[in-house]
């Protein structure tokens, strides 16, 4: 699972973890429709903020990579 930096007030960890897990599974599949849906979801998803959540900039950068279909790019 992808690790994100933590911050005092950031994106809700549970929501981000669930999204990343689902998107990663979709992009690892051989189904082009699942790939397209994961990419579209990455552009539209929103997360609640929480104390000691994930760094928003870090997560947003990762979402942009998913939207391009390349979650492991650095």
pLDDT reading at 74 higher than 70: no
SS (H, E, C) 4-44: CCEEEEEECHHHHHHHHHHHHHHHHCCCHHHHHHHHHHHHH
- Over residues 10-46, the pLDDT tens digits come to 999 999 999 999 999 999 999 999 999 999 999 999 9
> The whole model's pTM is what?
0.90
pLDDT confidence of residue 69: 80
């Amino acid at each position: 699972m992808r690790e994100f930096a933590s911050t005092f007030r950031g994106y809700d960890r549970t929501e981000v973890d669930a999204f990343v897990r689902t998107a990663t599974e979709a992009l690892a599949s051989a189904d082009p429709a699942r790939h397209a849906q994961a990419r579209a979801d990455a552009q539209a998803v929103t997360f609640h903020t929480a104390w000691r959540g994930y760094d928003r900039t870090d997560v947003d950068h990762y979402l942009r990579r998913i939207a391009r279909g390349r979650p492991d790019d650095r």
